[in-house]
Amino acid sequence: MKKFAIAAATATALTLTLGNVAFAAQQSTQAPMMLAAGEVTKAKEATSDTWITTKVKADLVTEKGIPGTDIKVETNKGVVSLSSDVAVTSAQKDTAVAIAKKIKGVQAVSADGLKTN
């Protein structure tokens, strides 16, 4: 029984080793995938906008005195739009705008969608 287990383990190790060698050889012969410059720019903008939205939302949620969970954040080409279904005070609105403006990459902030008391 031990001989069978040793033989099976050796066969498995040998198969994995040969498989990795074949995989490495296949990878080196493939041409790298190229993206058009426009596609790369779109991907960077989308990543940047997503990062900005996430950062603004996180900062709003952690700020005391701001109903961060009730404020919707959207970003398009660095322009942050804040909106809510729940009314906020004008001081909370001003604080939310200030929080969004301090985030790196933010070009402008629109708080027209925030309902105020």
In the chain, what are the domain boundaries? 1-30, 36-113
Least confident of 5-9, 41-45, 94-98: 5-9
Kindly state the average pLDDT of the residues 80-104: 96
- Section 22-35 average pLDDT: 53
For residue 21 the two structure tokens come to 């060698």
Supply the pTM of this predicted model.
0.63
Phi, psi of 5 (to 5 degrees): -65, -40
CB 102 within 8 A of CB 89: no
Instruction: Let me know: does 81 contact 75? Beta carbons within 8 Å.
Output: yes
Say whether 89 sits in a helix, a strand or coil.
coil
Stretch 85-99: mean pLDDT: 95
